[in-house]
């Protein structure tokens, strides 16, 4: 079935270092991929979305490229900021599938001074 895998539960980084959060997926059909960010005591918000192979959407300094050949949609940022500390979810939607949306287990990003 369709699924999303986020391998890191917790990533701790020093401010200024690059960020990379992993997301891989399994899907029978062509998927839509999303990254959501959830700051402490807030609701999740959409960060990025992509449906096109090798296209790189960007938002707030974050970017992610959907690579259908490797079934990946890793989230990256060149320089981490303290305010980036949050929970990040990768999510998958597949048109005409039985389940509307599947989330990965989430990666908590902790940026320290």
Partner 1 sequence: NAGVIQTPRHKVTGKGQEATLWCEPISGHSAVFWYRQTIVQGLEFLTYFRNQAPIDDSGMPKERFSAQMPNQSHSTLKIQSTQPQDSAVYLCASSLGGLGVNQDTQYFGPGTRLLVL
Q: Which residues bind to partner 1, rule: CB under 8 A?
A: 32, 36, 42-46, 49, 51, 89, 91, 93-95, 98-106
Instruction: Tell me the closest approach of the beta carbon of residue 112 to partner 1, in angstroms.
Output: 22
Comparing CB distances to partner 1, the nearer of 76 and 97 is 97
Instruction: Tell me the closest approach of the beta carbon of residue 15 to partner 1, in angstroms.
Output: 26
Instruction: Tell me the closest approach of the beta carbon of residue 1 to partner 1, in angstroms.
Output: 11
Comparing CB distances to partner 1, the nearer of 51 and 85 is 51
Comparing CB distances to partner 1, the nearer of 100 and 113 is 100
Comparing CB distances to partner 1, the nearer of 15 and 51 is 51
What's the burial of 11, exposed, middle or buried (CB within 10 Å: 0-12/13-18/19+)?
middle
Tell me the sheet residues that pair with 5. Answer: 24
Instruction: Tell me the closest approach of the beta carbon of residue 29 to partner 1, in angstroms.
Output: 11
Q: How far apart are CA 42 and CA 85, in angstroms?
A: 13
The tokens of 78 are what? 């060149």
Residues in Cβ contact with 41 at an 8 Å cutoff, skipping those fewer than 6 apart: none
């Amino acid at each position: 079935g369709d699924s999303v895998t986020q391998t890191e539960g917790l990533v701790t980084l020093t401010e200024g270092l690059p960020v990379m959060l992993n997301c891989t997926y399994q899907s029978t059909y062509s998927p839509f991929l999303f990254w959501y960010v959830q700051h402490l005591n807030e609701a999740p918000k959409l960060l990025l979305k992509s449906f096109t192979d090798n296209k790189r959407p960007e938002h707030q300094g974050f970017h992610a490229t959907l690579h259908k050949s490797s079934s990946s949609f890793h989230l990256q940022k060149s320089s981490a900021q303290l305010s980036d500390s949050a929970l990040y979810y990768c999510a998958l939607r597949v048109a005409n599938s039985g389940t509307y949306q599947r989330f990965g287990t989430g990666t908590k990003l902790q940026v320290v001074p």
